[in-house]
Amino acid sequence: MKIKLTEEQYNRLLVENDKDFLDGQVNFKHIGNKVTPFIVKLFNILKEKCKDCPFDKMMSMIKNDFALTEQEATLLTYNFNNFNAKNSFIEDFKEVLGQPLVYYGKFLYDMNIPVYGQVNGMIDGWAEGYGTSYVDFLEQIGNGDVEIIADWSGRVDADTYDVEWSVDDDYAQDQVSDIWHEYDEDDLSDFIDRVSIG
Amino acid sequence: MKIKLTEEQYYRLLVENDKKFLNGKVEYPHIGNKVNKFIVKLFNYIHQKVGPFTRSNSDDIRDIITRDFGLTRAEAELLRHNYANFSHDTDTDDFSEFIGADLEFYGELKFNTRIPMSAYIHGTMDGYVTGYATSVDDFIDKLEDNSWDDVDTDWVDDIESYPEDAEWEIDTDYAGDSITDEIRDLKRQGDEDGIIDRIEIMQ
């Protein structure tokens, strides 16, 4: 028997499959988007061995003991904590079998990053100090008892090609805070074009 | 009566005049290289006003010399230094006893060199901000709340930088070391004349 579907029903079915997250934009190799018997087992073991562990430790246990990817472990750790938060007395995770998993993963927004680097150079100048003779003055230079003065009318000879650059974190943080103001809340398509998932 | 001098004697006489310091390289408009009556009067005046030289009246002494006697700053530095020397050596309040004594040169000198500089330059490059979220909307909320994870770049693209905007500063620590090293190297090479050629006496 064949079943006829409208385009809308077909698309909905695609979205409602048990593999994908975020309208089909993400799927994982070893887990789907619902709690399976495997995930029940994993959650039960996690509860037994690592119930009060920090997020990172839970994640690394899932990754190592169940041979899952970092992304899968991140999502499962988030969902394990989520189920625990919602149902504080889960004895056995069988009771959440078949329930949807919430997507939780890394998002990335492309932007221009401010960077800075230290450069060094040389300029003409002089060391200046008081002395009773040349020898006395040289001794003062040796002792560092002189003032070093650059001739600012000259040009600094510098190598700007060999700079060790770093991200300018403070400025970058300000820029990230401003991202939100760049977009119209009702039309986020331009924003979404610059977002990658995973 | 004429006195004949050898060339050496003539040059020695030039050096041994009563005007110049440092083998004839420095002379001042108002003072010579020996204590004369004017300088005795000046020293006595200072002594009467502020007493013997101390570190705390050092600036006052220089100001008295320039203001009350109309001498240059360089002359004041030299006379203050010598007043300190003479007043250190004696309890006297009359400096007539030093008339004719040599004044010791004391002045500002400068050694011309290359100064190490440093500056920060700024630029931009392609990169990204990352954060963990359950959806694009959730990610937007996290960006807005500043609860994102990291800002980073793959460091593969060119950096657009603006070296012309660098605000240069003297690399003070390195500058001190580099001048000391330079002097030591020149001395090691026996090039003392080379050092002296690069020293200027400020007047």
Chain A: closest CA distance from residue B58 (Å): 14
Task: Tell me which residues of chain B, numbers 9 to 38, contact chain A at a CB-CB cutoff of 8 Å.
Answer: 22
Using CA atoms, how far apart are residues A28 and A105, in angstroms rounded to an integer? 11
- The structural domain count of chain A equals 2
Per-residue pLDDT of A96-105, as tens digits, reads 999 999 999 9
User: Does residue A165 fall inside a structural domain?
Assistant: no
For β-strands A164-167 and A105-131, DSSP reports them as antiparallel
Give yes or no: residues A81 and A28 share one domain: yes
Q: CB A116 to CB B122 under 8 A?
A: yes
Nearest chain A Cα to B179, which residue?
Answer: A141
- Average pLDDT rounded to a whole number, residues A47-61: 92
pLDDT at residue A12 is higher than 80:
no
Give yes or no: residues A16 and A94 share one domain: yes
pLDDT at residue A6 is higher than 80:
no
User: Does residue A144 fall inside a structural domain?
Assistant: yes
Range of the domain at A134: 121-158
Point out which residues pair with B122 in neighbouring strands: A116
Please list the pLDDT of chain B residue by residue as tens digits (203 residues). 565 666 765 665 555 567 788 888 888 989 999 999 999 999 999 999 999 999 999 999 999 999 999 999 999 999 999 999 998 877 788 899 999 999 999 999 999 999 999 999 999 999 999 999 999 889 988 888 888 888 988 888 888 888 888 889 999 888 888 888 888 888 889 888 888 889 988 87
pLDDT tier at A8 (50, 70, 90 boundaries)? low
Give yes or no: residues A16 and A90 share one domain: yes
Give yes or no: residues A73 and A128 share one domain: no
Interface test with B, best of A71, A79, A141, A194 (most B CBs within 10 A): A141
A85 interaction partners in chain B (CB closer than 8 Å): none
Name the token pair of A49.
């061995």
For residue B34, give the DSSP letter. Answer: B
pLDDT given for residue B164 in this prediction: 80
Chain A: closest CA distance from residue B44 (Å): 23
Give yes or no: residues A48 and A126 share one domain: no
pLDDT tier at A122 (50, 70, 90 boundaries)? very high
Give yes or no: residues A143 and A99 share one domain: no
pLDDT given for residue B145 in this prediction: 83
pLDDT at residue A127 is higher than 80:
yes
pLDDT given for residue A5 in this prediction: 58
User: Does residue A13 fall inside a structural domain?
Assistant: yes
User: Does residue A138 fall inside a structural domain?
Assistant: yes
Which residues, in sequence order, are CB contacts of A137 under 8 Å at separation 6+?
A: A129, A130, A131, B109, B111, B199
- Average pLDDT rounded to a whole number, residues A47-57: 92
Give yes or no: residues A15 and A91 share one domain: yes
- Flag whether residue B62 sits within 8 Å of chain A, measured between CB atoms: no
Give yes or no: residues A71 and A140 share one domain: no
Segment (H or E) for A41: helix A37-50
User: Does residue A110 fall inside a structural domain?
Assistant: no
pLDDT given for residue A197 in this prediction: 87
B128 interaction partners in chain A (CB closer than 8 Å): 108-111, 113, 196
- Average pLDDT rounded to a whole number, residues A139-154: 90
User: Does residue A84 fall inside a structural domain?
Assistant: yes
Give yes or no: residues A96 and A147 share one domain: no
Cβ atoms of B153 and B130 within 8 Å: the answer is no
Of B135, B146, B159, the CB nearest to A22: B135
pLDDT given for residue A160 in this prediction: 78
Q: Which 3 state secondary structure label does DSSP give B189?
A: coil
B106 interaction partners in chain A (CB closer than 8 Å): 130-132
Give yes or no: residues A43 and A131 share one domain: no
Give yes or no: residues A95 and A60 share one domain: yes
pLDDT tier at A166 (50, 70, 90 boundaries)? very high
- Flag whether residue B171 sits within 8 Å of chain A, measured between CB atoms: yes
The structure's pTM equals: 0.64
Chain B: closest CA distance from residue A89 (Å): 24
Phi, psi of A46, rounded to the nearest 5 degrees:
-60, -40
pLDDT given for residue A2 in this prediction: 60
